[in-house]
């Protein structure tokens, strides 16, 4: 059963962010809280949606990840591109930052 993480966009700048274990948000997928099961995912999503209603983040949703050596890797091309940046401009997006 794949693990999931929660992502959203930050209101002020639209940046891709991930829900962390302490209920905050990080731009780094490595910091994301990982849910190993439907119940955990539901809880994380509920926490994220509360924040969305409060207005600082937009459109949270859960997506599948694989955890390799403690690091979450997104499953699916869309999430991979969203994590890294446009595949055709590797000089832009978060792929340019050091993780």
Partner 1 sequence: MYRYDEFDHTFVTQRVEQFREQVARRISGELSEDEFKPLRLMNGLYLQLHAYMLRVAVPYGTLSARQLRQLAYIARRYDRGYGHFTTRQNIQFNWPTLSDTPDILADLAAVEMHAIQTSGNCIRNTTADATAGVAADEVADSRIYCEIIRQWSTLHPEFSFLPRKFKIAVTGSGRDRAVTAAHDIGLRMQRDADGNPGFEVLVGGGQGRTPVLAAKIRDFLPEGDLLSYLEAILRVYNQLGRRDNIYKARIKILVRETGAAEFARLVEAEWAHIRNGELRLPADELERIRGYFAPPLYQALDDACPELAAQRAGNRGFDAWVQSNVEAHKRPGYAIATISLKPHGGIPGDASAEQMEVVAGLADRYGFGEIRVTYKQNLLLPDLRKGDLFAVWKALGETGLATANSHRLSDIIACPGLDYCNLANARSIPIAQVISARFADLEREREIGNVTVNISGCINACAHHHVANIGILGVDKKGKEFYQVTLGGAADENAAIGDIVGPAFDEDRIAGAVETVVDVYLAERRGADEAFIDTYRRIGLKPFKEKLYAAH
Query: Which residues 6+ apart lie within 8 Å of 26 measured at CB?
Result: 17, 18, 20, 32
Contact code string over 68-87 relative to partner 1, x by CB under 8 A: --------xxx--xx--xxx
Does 11 contact partner 1 by CB under 8 A?
yes
**Exposed / middle / buried, residue 94 (Cβ in 10 Å: 0-12, 13-18, 19+):** middle
- Residue 73: CB minimum distance to partner 1, A: 14
Residue 90 CA from chain centroid, whole number: 19
1 or 12, CB closer to partner 1? 12
Residue ranges binding partner 1 (CB under 8 A): 9, 11-16, 52-55, 58-59, 76-78, 81-82, 85-89, 92-93
């Amino acid at each position: 059963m794949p693990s999931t993480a929660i992502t959203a966009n930050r209101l002020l700048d639209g940046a891709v962010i991930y829900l962390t274990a302490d209920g905050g948000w990080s731009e780094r997928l490595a910091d994301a809280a990982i849910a190993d099961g439907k119940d955990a995912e539901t809880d994380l999503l509920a926490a994220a949606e509360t924040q969305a209603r409060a207005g600082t983040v937009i459109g949270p949703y859960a997506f599948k990840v694989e955890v390799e050596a403690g690091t979450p890797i997104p499953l699916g091309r869309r999430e991979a591109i969203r994590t890294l940046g446009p595949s055709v401009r590797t000089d832009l997006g978060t792929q340019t930052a050091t993780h």
